[in-house]
A = this chain, B = another copy of it.
């Protein structure tokens, strides 16, 4: 930017997600002088901060003279208020893009190159097409083991990192991809921290599912903890159940995941780096990975799962992490509730040992907690499983869960959805299968996760015998529009529940 053009910032009221966009008039002297057009990359500076943004050119009616419009993310990234004076010029050349081109042309990336790419992505210096280009040439099995290790390290390096000087062993768990209702994390954290393990758990919000662990926990307590608050909670209770986004542990990851999902890319290297970088950034030393395998789960075959287990082992070994993978049944939804509040109800029912608590959720949580306890103590799975079950049955898990939530700011009562529509079975027989993906879509159409009380409550699951007219599930909605919309979808997709004679 060898010459400085000053313009006044204004918010355009437009949400362009993670890609910063600025808007300038087609007759703006700056556009003409700089030769900007509708696909230019622009550098905007304010108070010593620089933002790289894409330009959209607008008609004079859309913007006053001498003004420059900002999308929401552009305003946020530059940390300015509308009315501020900014300077505008051509975006600088992003040096790490030459490393991306190197990878495009088939050459392996060094640690330094991987680091420079991820650092630039994390600071929003890439446009979406550049992130897409990078991900595409890293997808499939195009990253070597060394590159996956470099990518993991780079993703750790560009974010915050927690340290736990007073604890030698820090535990964590992660589940690969999505069975509706499979909300084991709050249970596992309560059980193993009641047993004395330190587990500062940070979780994400839903990306494509009806609820993430952070969404579910937010219906019960405050999950937006600062780094200091998070440390304080863990010091007092040995655990936390926080939203990872608030502590900025792996800022590149969110940006990569968004484009990866949009392109429907399954990069195994990217997946491993994404998971492990967050664990390392959280200061974890011992990590359990749950890999559900099923036709409508994220990992669909046993051989895919085994390949993943092998790579996880090699990368975590290189990075000094103790890691254990569990391959689990991913063929059916877990628990009864789907959606933030309904999943929280299931979690509470298990912790409080209510007679109607979903036993499949309880069993999975105890099994995973046992794996972590065995990883910690090495006394064998049978003993660990008995210990985990005792912690639940004795009420110690529930007491510990309350302690964690109290430390995070208190326990909130769960709201109820305004509309409840009971749906009845349209056939008699056995529930032979439930389509996890369409079930998740139904819960999202009902309003989850934005409407926290919206979602579903299942009254039957795979394997249950059912007669026509018996309760199948309850649809929970907060607005009449969404209620109608979800019901329409369900009526056209009745076969998401496969009910009939067992063959």
A2 and B141 alpha carbons, distance in the complex (Å): 37
Q: Pick out which of these stretches binds chain B: A8-16, A152-160, A173-181.
A: A8-16
A132 and B129 alpha carbons, distance in the complex (Å): 6
A339 at the interface (CB under 8 A from B): no
Partner of A14, one of B3, B58, B129: B58
Partner of A489, one of B2, B58, B59, B129: B2
A394 at the interface (CB under 8 A from B): no
B32–A482 touching, CB < 8 Å: yes
B12–A481 touching, CB < 8 Å: no
Given A2-B488, A14-B23, A132-B136; A447-B62 close (CB under 8 Å):
no
Measured between beta carbons, the chain B residues less than 8 angstroms from A97 are 264
A38 and B140 alpha carbons, distance in the complex (Å): 27
A263 and B135 alpha carbons, distance in the complex (Å): 14
Measured between beta carbons, the chain B residues less than 8 angstroms from A15 are 26, 38, 56-58
Partner of A62, one of B2, B14, B492: B14
Given A133-B263, A262-B39; A13-B58 close (CB under 8 Å):
yes
Given A26-B15, A132-B130, A136-B132; A481-B32 close (CB under 8 Å):
yes
Measured between beta carbons, the chain B residues less than 8 angstroms from A127 are 262
A30 and B324 alpha carbons, distance in the complex (Å): 44
B3–A105 touching, CB < 8 Å: no
A389 and B40 alpha carbons, distance in the complex (Å): 43
A381 at the interface (CB under 8 A from B): no
Measured between beta carbons, the chain B residues less than 8 angstroms from A481 are 29, 32-33
Give the interface size class of chain A.
35 or more
Measured between beta carbons, the chain B residues less than 8 angstroms from A29 are 481
B132–A485 touching, CB < 8 Å: no
Measured between beta carbons, the chain B residues less than 8 angstroms from A57 are 14-15
A358 and B259 alpha carbons, distance in the complex (Å): 51
A128 and B34 alpha carbons, distance in the complex (Å): 24
A384 and B129 alpha carbons, distance in the complex (Å): 48
Q: Nearest chain-B residue to A140 (Cβ)?
A: B105
Measured between beta carbons, the chain B residues less than 8 angstroms from A357 are none
A139–B3 touching, CB < 8 Å: no
A106 at the interface (CB under 8 A from B): yes
Given A14-B62, A26-B15, A137-B137; A262-B129 close (CB under 8 Å):
yes
A128–B130 touching, CB < 8 Å: no
A405 at the interface (CB under 8 A from B): no
Measured between beta carbons, the chain B residues less than 8 angstroms from A485 are 3, 33-34
A residues near B, CB below 8 A?
2-3, 12-17, 23, 26, 29, 32-35, 37-39, 56-59, 61-62, 71, 97, 101, 104-106, 127-133, 135-137, 139-142, 258-259, 262-265, 444-445, 447, 450, 479, 481-482, 485, 488-489, 492
Given A32-B481, A106-B142, A132-B133, 11 other A-B residues pairs in contact with their CB atoms under 8 A: A2-B492, A17-B39, A105-B139, A106-B140, A106-B141, A128-B128, A128-B132, A129-B131, A129-B263, A133-B133, A133-B135
Closest 3 CB pairs of A and B: A13-B62, A13-B59, A129-B132
